[in-house]
Structure 1
Amino acid sequence: MRLPRTLRLDPSDTFVFPRAAEPGEWAVTGSFLFLDVETTGLSPKDRAAFRSGFVGVRSLGFSTLVVVSEATASEHAEAVEDLAGHIHERFGAPDRESARAAAREELDVSASLCNLPVGTVVAMHRAERDGSIREEFRSLHRRPGSDVLHGRAFHFAEVDEDAPEERVHLVGLIHDTRSGG
């Protein structure tokens, strides 16, 4: 079975959301967190979570991205139990079995997003339209045959230790451009 896992490429989720999911948690879309919420009154961080946050089932923290991953039956069962605990204790499910049923349903929805190759990264945009919550998903994946480094923001290269160190004085560059130099 395939399920989404939270993915943290940089620390931005820890600044953008009220609570960031831990990297590698099993995830659900998490729209149930916003069902009875007036979205116009959300704080900026909660608004960011509403717009683009997947929810880690263990922490109930948010993640901008998830990655399609293989899950064993025992990992799926553990994810159900983690989410059921939150649904029962924090969201008032009448009993643990009702909470498990709701958790299974949330994980089934998330699994339906994973009809993609393992390793595919998925992002979400959530919006409120005509009184209901709408989710749109997009997948990001490397093109077959493309260079492994294609699309990376940074590439680390080994340098010769004897070479002179390069330094850039950014403030000086700004002053030079302002003075026409």
Structure 2
Amino acid sequence: MKLARTIRFDESDGNVFARPAPEGEWAIAGGFEFSNFGEGDLSGKARQAFANGWLSAEGFGRSTFVAVAQIQPAERAALVEGLAAHFVSHYGAPDLAAARPVAEDEIAFMEELCADHDPNTLLVVNRELTASGVRESFRAIQPGEAELDLVAVHVSED
């Protein structure tokens, strides 16, 4: 089984997201957070999270990039439970039993996005608000296709 982990190439996520995800957390698309958004909700850091942010399924922060990785069944089961609990505590799901199938669907959707990609493939998300709702598109960047300035952190002695 494959899922994706948050990844950071630099500190920009800390500047563009209200709640940046730490590196290495399991991630899902997380577009459900924006299901009731309108143009008036899309400004500043909320706009950036909407446009390009993956949702950490552990700490519920946002990340610009995720990388495909293998996940063990026990880790996956824990993610489903944690996400279901998040739906109860933050989105008003009546209980864990009602939230579990929705959490399962979110994890399964991410698994489907990752299934045909090799480990370490980078994934990016792009969202736009349309008349019919939120439209998501996804792009994969193979490790060998990434240009050096995309994956390298440049440091100077100054």
Q: TM-score, normalised by structure 2?
A: 0.89
Q: CA deviation at 1:29?
A: 0.6
Contact 2:122–2:143 under 8 Å retained in 1 = no
Q: Distance in 2 between matches of 1:88 and 1:155?
A: 39
Determine helix, strand or coil for the equivalent of 1:90.
helix
Query: What code does the residue aligned with 2:74 have?
Result: S
Counterpart-to-counterpart distance in 1, 2:39 and 2:69: 31
**Which position in structure 2 is the counterpart of 1:116?**
117
RMSD: 2.0
The share of aligned pairs that are identical, in percent, is: 35
**Which deviates more from structure 2 when the two are superposed, residues 80-89 or residues 64-73?**
80-89
TM normalised by structure 1 equals 0.78
Summarize the alignment of residues 147-162 of structure 1 with structure 2, pairs less than 5 Å apart: 151-153=147-149, 154=152
Residue 30 (1) aligns with residue 63 (2): no
Residues 1-181 of structure 1: matches in 2 within 5 Å?
A: 1-114=1-114, 115-143=116-144, 151-153=147-149, 154=152
Question: Which piece of structure 1 moves more, 95-104 or 46-55?
Answer: 95-104
- 8 A Cα contact 1:39 1:47, kept in partner: no
> CA contact under 8 A between 1:6 and 1:26: conserved in structure 2?
yes
In 2, Cα distance between the equivalents of 1:81 and 1:155? 35
The residue identity in structure 1 corresponding to 2:148 is R
Kindly provide the amino acid, as one letter, of the partner of residue 5 in structure 1. R
Large movers: runs of 4+ above 6 Å: none
Larger fraction in helix: 2
Contact 1:7 1:65 in 2 (8 A): yes
Which structure is larger by alpha-carbon Rg, 1 or 2? 1
Structure 2: gaps spanning 5 or more residues? none
Per-residue deviation, 1:155: 8.0
